A and B are shown apart, each in its own frame.
Chain A
Amino acid sequence: MTSGSRARRAPRRDLVRAAVLEVLQAIAPELDTTRLDADRPLREQVDLDSIDWLNVLLRLRDRLQVPIPDSDYGRLTSLNAIVDYLGAPSRHRRSATGDKATGADPLATRIHRLPGNVEVAVRPARPEDLPQEAEFFRHLSAESRYKRFMAAIGELPEKKLRALASADASRQIALVATAREGADEIEVGIASYAVAPDARSCEMAIVLDDGWHHSGLAGVMMADLIDVARHAGLERMDGYVLASNQEMIRFARQLGFTTRHDPDDPRTVLIERSL
């Protein structure tokens, strides 16, 4: 885990309270959170149907990384009850900040099995990956490169690659996916983000080896990237996609991104989601 994560510095109860209010506000924008009675059940005060309530619970669970047994959902009624439950230290729970001692390091290697029983490993890029990464980019089709970097460029400058390979999730991170090809471990995808100057949002990008489109790899890499960003205390993720890249726009929507045209550039679509 990196230094500089605001999530770790904030007292846990405040963090949980802020998360609950933000999740509620996102689902019920009409809510005036200053008028909430923290001891009354939320569903008596906020108009939430059962699908809304399910989404509140799932977002809190995912965001705070607290496993909730189904028998405990009934305890999550009022704001204070939720803060008491999710904010309490418990040796049965994983720390929300990804403490290594509890085995929840967001930067550990993750093994995924894709449809067709293909195994890939996703992990932060390391400086020693540089030669392979340069190779990876050289192999991309001109179209893939164009979609990723918005302009057709020949080769990534060394500086950019070096920056991508620095594993400080509070500034930027690149996750690489590798797969076995015969005896070799080859790089098949890179997903990365760079944190904006406000230190709360980040800009993402993803590029796959041409042979790995439609393999399910993009979905698992994006899920991992979002997870790492959440653990780093980031609040939003955005990105730029070419308006002509309908496939990526559709994919982004499936991942919960909202899409809108870039007011400054009609060829570009801004994608955005809260974390």
Chain B
Amino acid sequence: MTRGPSSSNAASEPAPSAAPGAGGPLNIGRETVDRPVERGAGARVAILWRDSRGKRHDISYADLREATNRVAGVLRALDVAKGEPVFVMLGHRPEFATAMLGALKRGCLAAPLYPAFGPEPVATRINLARGRVLITTIDCYRRRVAPARAAMPSLQHVLLVAGADEAAAPAGTRLLAPLLDAAGAECEVEPTTEDDLALLHFTSGTTGAPKGALHAHAALRSHVASARRAFDLRADDVFWCTADPGWVTGTSYGLIAPLACGATTLVDEADFDPGRWIERLRGDSVSVWYTTPTALRMMRQLGVDASRVASLPRLRWIATVGERLDPALVAWSRATFGVPIHDTWWQTETGAIMIAQQPGSEVRPGPIGRPLPGVEAAVVRRNPAGVVEPVPDGQPGELALRAGWPSMFRGYLDDDERYRACFCGGWYLSGDSARRDAAGDYWFLGRLDDVVKSSGHLVGPVEVENALTQHVAVADAGVVGVPDPIAGERVKAFVELAPGHAPTPQLIQELLGFARQRLGAAIAPKEIEVLDVLPRTTSGKVLRRILREGAC
């Protein structure tokens, strides 16, 4: 990972870690669904699901307990071992919750995959973890997994959720429903400890393959504490996190945090639709809404305003994540929803919100807020000796966190070197550039590396470049993020053509389609530009910085 001046001592410094099994007993699956039932809240609505047609389904904590037990039972029956990854590639539907939490109850490593990934990103991630088990839908399997199935030799159990008008499982897969029926409604929860690994979230870096960030069951403590502090989340709240399941936010805050707080989490299956979203906020009495600046900008772009929204008496808090929040959007939100937006800052690696504009403090548009209780943050730089030192207030530096909070990632899958490189002098170095002002508020400035931040998601340039260079007409490619009025950044590819190929509009369209089929719409480039020659270092490495500067 590129993070400013390289540190000579990073590799020799022991990375913070805890021995598996060292902590006390803790299981996220048990804490989120069994505990509320034991406390007598079994009849409360855990998941309020709106299916794609808008029909409401209430899933109680007691329902969820039984459904997760059945998933754990299926995994046990298939001899899926404790600590083994279980990939879950599902959209906004209750099976995402039952698969994830069921896998956790079995003691497995629950690994969500973004259902908009194309076949190549899916295969890369499953192969990195040598995954044997995948739970997805028939439709998703056909479109996004089957084309690359031959490239995933480890994949053994593909368990499919059927849609309303689907019945037969494609070759090499099984329907999940009959297996669930055969499993018992009761299941012993695997006795995990807080240091046993629980979650595997993939994220992207500047170089090489995606990184699999590993989190332990202890992460639950940070999920709960941060939701209480940053959202004041309580059991009588209806909480709506619009993040896609498959990214870390969809798991930490779409699933674990609200259930562990005993609240109701709203899950809406439909794709973005401004009218329907307003209907959700009002009709389902959402009190706390966690979304992205991109989604809010899309609503604004499509004409949503105060006259349309009218009053939302239950809505008391809006928070966003993933991108810089501009003051105009904060003002629009206040005028439209009657509530300003509060920024939160965290990463896949931090597992939970670290810095936020918190209840009880004055809302100032611009800064990301202050560290939550128990989080020690600093703006630092590495001096020439490789030692981390703080920079004075007001000056830019790298945002760093004192290592050791409960949801801190415990490693990158099979990549200890990259993990160690994230720490120096007892600090986790985030790779984000920030400054702290005299009032103590932190300001996010941007990434220090070449990772693209689009619609709140990280896109690794190498993965996109590798897909493009598979095309016969492409000699080389450089991928960067360029400013986008809605998505913050959008993925743009610069390509150098192989000899004998002309930069026609038809070729550009063909390359766009080629990349989209392999990568999926969410990470494929939105724009491709042909350059005669890509800017390179003397060693031949593409200079993305030059491309980025020339692109805007």
Contacts and interface: CB of A to CB of B under 8 A. Distances in A.
A157 interface: no
A28 B521 contact: yes
Interface stretch (A49-57, A112-120, A130-138, A211-219): A49-57
Interface string B273-302: 111101000000000000000110011011
B513 A74 contact: no
A263 B501 CA distance: 12
B272 A53 contact: yes
A51 B486 contact: yes
A154 B486 CA distance: 45
A72 B271 CA distance: 14
Contacts of B118: 47
A52 B516 CA distance: 12
B298 A48 contact: no
A47 B520 contact: yes
B161 to A, nearest CB: 15
Given A71-B275, A272-B505, A51 B526 contact: yes
A9 interface: no
Looking at chain B, what size class is its interface with the partner chain? 35 or more
Contacts of B520: 47, 49
Interface in B514-533: 514, 516-517, 520-522, 526, 529-530, 532
B490 interface: yes
Given A43-B271, A74-B276, A51 B302 contact: no
A272 B514 CA distance: 22
B455 interface: yes
A91 to B, nearest CB: 20
B552 to A, nearest CB: 9
Interface string A22-49: 0000101111000000000001100111
Contacts of A44: 139
Interface in A59-90: 68-74
Contacts of B532: 261
Given A28-B516, A51-B490, A70-B274, A57 B521 contact: no
B509 A70 contact: no
B304 interface: yes
Interface string B123-138: 0000000000000000
A110 interface: no
A209 to B, nearest CB: 28
A51 B487 contact: yes
Contact of B274 (A48, A52, A73, A260): A73
Contact of B513 (A29, A43, A51): A29
B448 interface: no
A29 B530 contact: no
A74 B275 contact: yes
Given A47-B143, A73-B274, A30 B513 contact: yes
B512 interface: yes
B56 interface: no
A5 to B, nearest CB: 25
Interface residues of A, number: 30
B508 interface: yes
Contact of B116 (A26, A31, A47, A71): A47
Given A28-B513, A49-B522, A54-B486, A70 B299 contact: yes
A223 to B, nearest CB: 15
Contacts of B139: 44
A260 B530 CA distance: 8
B328 to A, nearest CB: 16
Contact of A70 (B304, B486, B510, B517): B304
A258 B389 CA distance: 46
Given A30-B516, A30-B517, A51-B455, A69 B303 contact: yes
Given A30-B516, A51-B487, A54-B486, A258 B275 contact: no
A152 interface: no
A156 interface: no
A168 to B, nearest CB: 28
B5 interface: no
B502 A263 contact: yes
Given A48-B521, A52-B521, A54-B301, A74 B273 contact: yes
Interface of B: 116, 118, 139, 143, 270-276, 278, 294-295, 298-299, 301-304, 308, 454-455, 484, 486-487, 490, 502-503, 505, 508-510, 512-514, 516-517, 520-522, 526, 529-530, 532
- 5 closest Cβ contacts across the A-B interface? A30-B513, A29-B513, A71-B275, A29-B509, A49-B521
